[in-house]
Amino acid sequence: MEGQKRSRKWLWIIIGLAVVGLIAGWCTYFGNQSGVSSVFNLNYFLMGLFIVTVLGYLLGRITIKGVSLGTAGVFLIAILFGYLCTLIPSDVAIVGGFHLDSTSKTLAYYKGAVQNVGLVLFVSSVGLIAGPKFFRDLGKNFKTYILMGAIIILSGTAVAIGFALIPGIGSEFSAGVLSGALTSTPGYSAAVESAGAEAAKVTLGYAIAYPFGVVGVVLFVQLLPKVLKANMEVERGLLKSSVETKIEKKEGLIQVDDFGLAPLALAIVCGLILGGIRIPLSADGYASGAPVFSLTTTGGVLIMCLVFGHFGRIGKFSLEVPTKTAKTLRELGLMLFLIGAGVDGGVQLVSQIKQSTLGGLIVVYGLLAGAVMTTVPMFVGYFVGGKLLKLPMLNNLGSITGGMTSTPALGTLINTAETEDVAGAYASTYPIALVLIVLACNLMIGLI
C-alpha cells in the first residue's frame, strides 16, 4: 500500500509539472508572436533558473554508499543546461527563447546578477555565523592557517608549472587550469589581465578545470571521513575544543528588523567597499595589464561580515542575524552562485573550444591537469595538517576548503560535520590562499 501511494504521488507530481510546462510553452509561443520578446526573455531566464534548481537538487539527492553531491548537483545540471542551450537555435518557436551564447543578454543575467548575488549571500552568511568565534580561533591558530594556505597553493602551483612546460601547452592555459582547479575567480581575473592578447587561453583552461574543481573538493570532504571511518561525534568534540566557544550574550539591544536583514545588508555594503579597494603590486601602478591585488567581492564581504559577527553591535543597535536566517540565506546563496557559474561555464566551454586550435584534445589535457591540480593540494594539505600540524580532522578539512577557496565544499562540509565551527578554519585560511593564488597566476604567466 505504501509503495502504491508513493507511486501515485509521483505520478500526480509528474502530470502537474507536464501541465504547467505545456501552459508555459503555449503562453510563451503566443507571447513571442505578439512581439513582447523582452518580457518573455525574462520568463525564459526565470524558467531556466528554477528548472536547474529542481533538477539539480534531485541529482544532489542521489546517495551512493552514503555519498551525495548535495548542492553541487545544481552546478552539474547548470553546466549541462548552459551547454544544451547553446545547441538551441534562437529562431525556433517556443524553446528558442532558451538559446544562449557568449554574447547573450540572458547569459549576463546568470553570470552577473545570479552568480554575484549568490556569492554575496553565501559568504556574508558564513561570515556572520563564524564571526563570534573567528578571531579567538584565529589568535590560537594563526601560524597554522598561514602555513596550510601556503602549502595548498604552492603544491597546486608546482603541478601547474610542470604542466605549463609541456610543449604546446603554455603558461596562459596552465594558469587558467590552476585557477579553475582551485575555483578561484580572483586568480582567473589576475591571469586574464596578465595574459593580454592570450586571455582566451586562460578562459578555456578555467572553464575546463572548474567543474572538477568544484565536485572534487565536495566529494573529498565527504569521502575522507568515511574512508577513515571517523567517529564524527568525537571529531566534533575535538573541533569544539580547539575553538573558543565563549560568546557574550548581548541583551537590551535594538533590533532593526526581526530577520536581521538590515544588519546583513549593511555588512554587505561595507564588504563590497572593502573588496573594491585595489592595491598595485608593481611600479606600473594601475596601468593596463599591471598586477593589482584586491580582496574582491568574496574576500571583502567575508572579512567585513566576520567583523560584524564578532562585535555584534553598533552602540545600542544589534548587528546580529538570527542563525535560522543566516543558514537559509547561506543555502540560497550557494545555490544561486552555482547556477550562475555553471550556466556560464557550460556556454563558455563550447565557445572557447571552438576557438582553440587543438580542438577537443585540449579538453583532455585540461581535464587531466585540472584533476591533478585539484587532488594533489588536498592530499598534501591533509597530510601536513594532520601529521605535522596535528590538526583535528574537521579543522583540517575546514582549512583545506579555505585553502582551495572552495565555497561549495564549505557548504558540504558544514552538512557533513553537522556543525558551523568548521567555517572558522575556512575563513582563516581563505585570505592567505586568495593572495597567493593571485600572485601565482600573475608570476606564472610573467616568468614562464
pLDDT tens-digit map of 38-57: 445 777 888 888 889 989 88
Give per-residue burial for 240-268: e unless 16+ CB within 10 Å, then b. Answer: eebbbeeeeeeeeeeeeeebbeebbebbb
CA nearest to 182, candidates 369, 396, 384: 369
Report the C-alpha gap between 268 and 266 in whole angstroms: 5
Highest averaged pLDDT of the listed ranges 107-111, 328-332, 354-358: 328-332
CA angle 267–269–273, rounded 5-degree value: 115
**442 contacts: CB under 8 Å, gap ≥ 6:** 190, 191, 194, 281, 291
Asked whether residue 249 carries a pLDDT value surpassing 60, the answer given is: no
Q: Which three cell numbers stand for residue 200?
A: 582566451
Highest averaged pLDDT of the listed ranges 128-132, 305-309, 343-347: 305-309
Helix (H, G, I), strand (E, B) or coil at 279: strand
CA nearest to 395, candidates 248, 247, 246, 230: 230
Using only C-alpha atoms, the chain has a radius of gyration, in whole angstroms, of 23
CB 320 within 8 A of CB 312: yes
pLDDT of residue 12: 65
CB 396 within 8 A of CB 386: yes
Asked whether residue 137 carries a pLDDT value surpassing 80, the answer given is: no
In which residue are the cell numbers 567543474 written? 211
Q: Which three cell numbers stand for residue 374?
A: 585539484
- Tell me which of 21-30, 154-163, 190-199, 404-413 is least confident: 21-30
Q: Model's pTM, two decimal places? A: 0.70
pLDDT tens-digit map of 388-413: 988 889 989 999 998 998 878 888 88
CB 181 within 8 A of CB 212: yes
CB 224 within 8 A of CB 397: yes
* Mean pLDDT calculated for residue range 236-255: 67
Report the C-alpha gap between 65 and 226 in whole angstroms: 10
Report the C-alpha gap between 180 and 225 in whole angstroms: 25
CA nearest to 325, candidates 423, 417, 258: 258
pLDDT tens-digit map of 320-342: 888 888 888 888 888 888 888 78
* Mean pLDDT calculated for residue range 261-284: 85
Ramachandran region, residue 243 (left: φ > 0; alpha: ψ -120 to 50; beta: rest): beta
Helix (H, G, I), strand (E, B) or coil at 410: helix
Phi, psi of 318 (to 5 degrees): -80, 140
- Tell me which of 69-78, 191-200, 387-396, 423-432 is least confident: 191-200
Report the C-alpha gap between 90 and 123 in whole angstroms: 36
**184 contacts: CB under 8 Å, gap ≥ 6:** 405, 433, 434, 437, 438
CB 248 within 8 A of CB 88: no
Q: What pairing do the DSSP bridges indicate for beta strands 313-314 and 317-318?
A: antiparallel
**201 contacts: CB under 8 Å, gap ≥ 6:** 170, 172, 173, 176, 195
